[in-house]
Amino acid sequence: MAIIKGMGLLVLTLIVFSGFSLKAPKGQKAMSGLAGAAIATFLVEAIHKYINGDFLKIQFLGDVGSASGSLGGVIAAIIVPIYMGVNPIYAVTAGAAMAGYGILPGFIAGYVIGLIAPILEKKLPKGVDVILGALLIAPLARVIGLVSAPVVDTTLQNIGDMITVAAVQSPYIMGFLLGGITKVICTSPLSSMALTAMLDLQGLAMGIASIACVGGSFTNGLVFKRLKLGDSSNVLSVMLEPLTQADVVTTNALPIYSSNFIGGGLAGIAAAYFKIINNAPGTASPIPGLIAPFGFNSPKNVVLAIVFAVLGGILAGIVGSTISKLIIVTKNKRKSTEEVITEVA
């Protein structure tokens, strides 16, 4: 039941998340902004606070990480409207008013401001539009945070907690399922960083998600290389940041996503076996996922998990690309046979 509830809630969240990204006005840009906010806060906190601060005992960098991690709501309320094309002054005004709130209320406030600010800018008298706009936006952003925080934080936190519990109770099954789904999301036009930040995933579940993105990046590289989807620069780009190759991915969705699910799933099992935890939500991406786990685990366990995740990713890439090649060859032979029969007829 824990697995069913955890995966069911994850799929439900993914459906809502996908609908918002694809259908809401400027939804994709807003979600990209949320992913950027996760990098600026959670990733910096994970590296500087937990690795450089707690592990290496460099107090200054530890303080840097703590400061960055405490500003999730502020940064989200700033960067989301900027991604949506809002005047930076309005965006910073909204962010300043969100001090003390988490990244999700900040995202909601930033998105609403991203829709409203351009209207205010057009309606307000020129010359005083910036001043009046700032005075209106600041309390509006704060009210949005005040209203949304209890509902959003509680709901998504509960979903994230359920996924975390399922990962602890059934680590290998959840390692495969959560790892596979996370890697597919990571490679799709959606954002695995934004999704895991929204759910505030932590512990083993976040460890599975982050390691899955690392192992699955080698799956992507092999699939691109063996199916000749672009040159070496495309291969490197899809391994480091899949969103840069979104057009190629969507054109070849079936072989890439199916291979990704297997590669991410095998990598997730490796993370579960070595009990990799990650308390930096929002770091589900190849590079952040490679670095962040070192802040919470034995370096030896992280290295071993990454090695086996990479091996799983490579295996999935070879198998997936081989099957895709056979399907392509079979289709071409069938097409050639049909053309010959047509000519004879």
pLDDT value for 338: 55
Q: What is the mean pLDDT of the chain?
A: 84
Tell me whether residue 84 is in a domain.
yes
Least confident of 151-165, 292-306, 315-329: 151-165
Domain check: are 333 and 314 in the same one?
A: yes
Domain check: are 175 and 318 in the same one?
A: yes
Q: Higher model confidence: residue 244 or residue 323?
A: 323
Q: Is residue 342 scored above 70 in pLDDT?
A: no
Instruction: Give residue-wise pLDDT tens across range 271-290.
Output: 999 999 998 887 888 888 88
Last residue of a domain, one of 134, 160, 186: 160
User: How far, in Å, are 18, 107, 164, 213, 315 from residue 10 at the CA level?
Assistant: 12, 20, 11, 17, 26
pLDDT value for 218: 93
Domain check: are 225 and 298 in the same one?
A: yes
pLDDT value for 331: 63
Tell me whether residue 19 is in a domain.
no
3-state secondary structure the chain: CHHHHHHHHHHHHHHHHHHHHHHCCCHHHHHHHHHHHHHHHHHHHHHHHHHHHHHCCCHHHHHHHHHHHCCHHHHHHHHHHHHCCCCHHHHHHHHHCCCCCCHHHHHHHHHHHHHHHHHHHHHCCCCCHHHHHHHHHHHHHHHHHHHHHHHHHHHHHHHHHHHHHHHHHCHHHHHHHHHHHHHHHHHCCCCHHHHHHHHCCCHHHHHHHHHHHHHHHHHHHHHHHHCCCCCHHHHHHHHHCHHHHHHHHHHCHHHHHHHHHHHHHHHHHHHHHCCCCCCCCCCCCHHHHHHHHHHCCCHHHHHHHHHHHHHHHHHHHHHHHHHHHHHHHHHHHHHHHHHHHHHHC
Instruction: Give residue-wise pLDDT tens across range 56-68.
Output: 889 999 899 889 8
**Local confidence band at 109 (pLDDT 50, 70, 90 cut-offs):** very high
Average of per-residue pLDDT across 91-120: 91
Tell me whether residue 2 is in a domain.
no
Instruction: Give residue-wise pLDDT tens across range 227-256.
Output: 888 788 888 888 887 777 766 777 777 888
Tell me the C-alpha distance between 33 and 292, whole Å.
Answer: 20
**Local confidence band at 94 (pLDDT 50, 70, 90 cut-offs):** very high
Q: Is the pTM of the predicted complex or chain greater than 0.75?
A: no
Instruction: Give residue-wise pLDDT tens across range 138-175.
Output: 999 999 999 988 877 777 777 777 787 777 888 898 88
Q: Is residue 79 scored above 90 in pLDDT?
A: yes
Q: φ, ψ for residue 126 (rounded to 5)?
A: -65, 140
**Local confidence band at 1 (pLDDT 50, 70, 90 cut-offs):** low
Last residue of a domain, one of 111, 129, 160: 160
Tell me whether residue 179 is in a domain.
yes
Tell me the C-alpha distance between 313 and 307, whole Å.
Answer: 10
Domain count, the chain: 2
Last residue of a domain, one of 102, 137, 160: 160
CB 65 within 8 A of CB 53: yes
Domain check: are 248 and 340 in the same one?
A: yes
Q: Which of 75-89, 190-204, 325-339 has the highest mean pLDDT?
A: 75-89
Q: Give the residue numbers spanning the domain of 316.
A: 170-345
Tell me whether residue 189 is in a domain.
yes
pLDDT value for 166: 77
Q: Which of 135, 124, 127, 196 is nearest to 167 (CA)?
A: 196
